[in-house]
Amino acid sequence: QVILEHPGCKPQLGSSASTDNPFDFNNVDMRLPMLVYISREKRLGYDNQKKAGAMNAMLRVSALLSNAPFIINFDCDHYINNSKALRAPMCFMLDPRDGQNTAFVQFPQRFDDVDPTDRYANHNRVFFDGTMLALNGLQGPSYLGTGTMFRRVTLYGMEPPRYRVENIKLVDNAHEFGNSTSFTNSMPDGAIQERSITPVLVDEGLITDLATLITCAYEDGSSWGRDIGWVYNIATEDVVTGFRIHRQGWRSMYCSMEPAAFRGTAPINLTERLYQVLRWSGGSLEVFFSHNNALIAGRRLHPLQRIAYFNMSTYPIVTVFILAYNFFPVMWLFSEQLYIQRPFGTYIAYLVAVIAMMHVIGMFEVKWAGITLLDWCRNEQFYLIAATGVYPTAVLYMALKLVTGKGMHFRLTSKQTEACSRDKFANLYTVRWVPLLIPTTAVLVVNVAAVGAAIGKAAAWGFSTDQARHVLLGMVFNVGTLMLLYPFALGIMGKRGKTPVILFVLLLMAIAAVGLLYVTLYAPYPQESLTFLSW
């Protein structure tokens, strides 16, 4: 209907106040804002830069159509869930105290169609409601790629007012923004947040300018994708874009509301979820080994904010040691010797005190952020799942990139499809075997075997011996690892994972089989047998 009957420029005024309606809309244009679909040019030989390139094209085109001082973006699989989602961030942007230095307002991500137990920590409440809220006390949360309202001029690379010498200074070199005069002339108006937006007159000249802004060659020789707009050539363009803004001295704000401002979909399949985390962790390592490293950022970045960004870019590296530690039980599966020195009592007391202190602090943070115990447990479980497979793989990819110079290719996350509409959790019970599952599966097998071997050793040596007690004490580590890998074990069982009892039965059978095998192979011979063999 809109295409057949093109709306005119004449405003459609609302009704006057009456007894039934106390509000007077007699001078208010009741038409909806202009909706524009942008299809940018894509050509062989040009890298379209995926989402970042599309967002930069939108940023330029919208400057000539509306030039609104604020921009809100959310992914194609998200939707507005709260009618106040556009009004709430304006309270931060227009705050007379320090609103003019606020670059963007970040909403936490909320998802539909996630299984009730949140097996793979899709909601990630510890990160969204804990870490991001805590960063609000520094320079603010990082940009998460969706559910964000931006101040337009921050994406142009403009400095915040607190560091700005002049009232407004956008363009040092117009060629950095491309060769469109209309676009560069629109920048000063985009910085005036108090002005009203009037629809532009769409004529042939404007259409020509708009077509120029979305061509493949427009960004050649410019600073788009580096110092202007969304950052290119990195898997986590959202985090790096937010980092560049914070590095200039801007701050951001965290905004959580009920009901949630935006909701979207998340991958509930184990393989797709791991691929998603692989892309995030690989992109984080790319940030660390680039000029966007937080350690070399300018002095405008808050010291604690610098540490937060440093942690965001290095967390996959430490998991290499976690993976190695989970494979240590292999050493005493086939040997009677202990290659690791038994800890002293003082060391054990110190270790228990440190771990207890960390968990007490974590519990206080969980309570402060309003996170449930189930959310915290799921976060701990999925961290070990990722630490034994995904994160070390990301480290390997990054090492290969540093050696060969070839970038990493990450597949896009596949979300729920219409084929699964009859059973919205069908993807949860679908097994897609990929090499990414092998390391965690190996850790699972090793620790199951270690528990069986520990029970077998204790049975062979006698449960009252000192060595058997040490073996059973060491089994606590293996049991804890199995508890954390419980969601992964359900995931690789496929449809059988709908009945967790099957998993427990299989685990007990595997442990018993390993224990009996160890007793059969390594149990000491009775004294009579030894005498007979000597004779």
pLDDT tens string 386-425:
999 999 999 999 999 888 877 666 666 666 655 455 677 8
189 labelled binding-site residue = no
* 12 SS3 class: coil
84 labelled binding-site residue = no
Q: Phi/psi at 373 (nearest 5 deg)? A: -65, -35
What residues does each domain of the chain span? Answer: 50-268, 431-535
SS (H, E, C) 142-200: CCCCCCEEEEHHHHCCCCCHHHCCCCCCCCCCHHHHCCCHHHHHHHHHHCCCCCCCCCC
Highest-confidence range of 202-211, 409-418, 467-476, by mean pLDDT? Answer: 202-211
Indicate if the pLDDT at residue 337 is higher than 70: no
Q: What angle (nearest 5°) sits at the alpha carbon of residue 57, between those of residues 55 and 58?
A: 65
* CATH fold label, 50-268: Spore Coat Polysaccharide Biosynthesis Protein SpsA; Chain A (3.90.550)
pLDDT digits (tens, 9 = 90+) for 13-55: 777 888 777 777 787 776 666 678 888 888 888 888 889 999 9
How many angstroms separate the first and last alpha carbons of the chain?
103
Indicate if the pLDDT at residue 101 is higher than 80: yes
Neighbours of 74 (CB within 10 A): 20
pLDDT digits (tens, 9 = 90+) for 173-198: 667 888 888 888 888 877 776 665 66
Q: What is the DSSP letter of 102?
A: E
For the residues 344-358, what does the mean pLDDT come to?
A: 84
What is this structure's pTM?
0.84
Q: What is the per-residue pLDDT for 179?
A: 86
51 labelled binding-site residue = yes
